[in-house]
A and B are shown apart, each in its own frame.
Chain A
Amino acid sequence: DIQMTQSPSSLSASVGDRVTITCQASQDISNYLNWYQQKPGKAPKLLIYDASNLETGVPSRFSGSGSGTDFTFTISSLQPEDIATYYCQQYDNLPVVTFGPGTKVDIK
């Protein structure tokens, strides 16, 4: 089974800061990786698909990069409404999918 790790598990940053989250797969998954945002008490929301493609309607301050085993999710300028937990998700071994453990983002 493919295992996913994320770091950090949580972070606090100031409004306007650049925030970076990393996701690592236990084996090569090409670009078969998505990123989701989950605000407290809400359902997850797709932000980035295929490692680097921005979902329609998602603000451009969100971006993703990487391939193989190492991936990065970036918020270029943190906004108060970005407080959430962010999950990576691999889909290399379709149709089974695996989510990372999540990264909780707070405002400092």
Chain B
Amino acid sequence: QVQLVESGGGVVQPGRSLRLSCAASGFTFSSYGMHWVRQAPGKGLEWVAVIWYDGSNKYYADSVKGRFTISRDNSKNTLYLQMNSLRAEDTAVYYCARDRREVGVVAATLDYWGQGTLVTVSS
């Protein structure tokens, strides 16, 4: 069965960096686009970034553009989110999620989600 397991969260000071990972299993990882979505404590869902199945295209929410970088290693079935210049408002649970469409342009329909990893930005 499809499984997505995030890791790498923790407490970090403002201005510092953190890299999240999402280990995928149970499907052909290299065939699917992948997303990061976050949720601040007690708040709603906010889409963060997407990467095409082959890594050829990447898009970001305006709130993280220029600070966060999404990437993937298809040989390791792993998705990453490099987060630089972190701010207090980046505090959230970060979820990785699979795009529904296999190969091609993403469908932006997220059919499987990980359990999330908490990032806390605080001095």
Contact digits for B25-69, partner A, Cβ 8 Å, 1 yes 0 no: 000000001010100000011110010000001010100000000
Closest chain-B Cβ to A89's Cβ sits at a distance in Å of 8
Q: Does A62 contact B (CB under 8 A)?
A: no
Is B95 within 8 A of A49, CB to CB?
no
A92 nearest CB neighbor, chain B only: B108
Q: Does A73 contact B (CB under 8 A)?
A: no
Is B44 within 8 A of A101, CB to CB?
yes
Chain A: residues with Cβ within 8 Å of the partner, total of 23
Is A94 within 8 A of B113, CB to CB?
no
Q: Does A55 contact B (CB under 8 A)?
A: yes
Is A94 within 8 A of B106, CB to CB?
yes
Stretch at the interface among A12-20, A40-48, A75-83: A40-48
Is A97 within 8 A of B115, CB to CB?
no
Q: Does B109 contact A (CB under 8 A)?
A: yes
Is A43 within 8 A of B109, CB to CB?
no
Contact of B59 among A50, A87, A95 (CB under 8 A): A95
Is A44 within 8 A of B113, CB to CB?
yes
Is A95 within 8 A of B108, CB to CB?
yes
Is B113 within 8 A of A43, CB to CB?
yes
B contacts, CB < 8 Å to A: 33, 35, 37, 44-47, 50, 57, 59, 61, 95, 97, 100, 105-111, 113-116
For the complex with contacts A44-B37, A87-B45, 18 further pairs of A-B residues with Cβ separation under 8 Å are A42-B115, A43-B114, A43-B115, A44-B110, A45-B113, A49-B111, A91-B107, A91-B108, A94-B105, A94-B106, A95-B59, A95-B105, A95-B108, A96-B59, A96-B61, A98-B47, A99-B44, A99-B47
The 7 residue pairs across chains A and B that have the minimum distance between CB atoms:
A91-B108, A43-B113, A99-B45, A97-B47, A97-B108, A102-B44, A95-B59
Q: Can you report 29 A-B residue pairs in the complex whose CB atoms are below 8 A from each other?
A: A34-B110, A36-B110, A38-B45, A43-B115, A43-B116, A44-B37, A44-B45, A44-B95, A44-B97, A44-B110, A45-B113, A46-B100, A46-B109, A49-B109, A87-B44, A89-B45, A91-B107, A91-B108, A91-B109, A94-B106, A95-B106, A95-B108, A96-B59, A97-B108, A98-B47, A99-B44, A99-B46, A101-B44, A102-B44
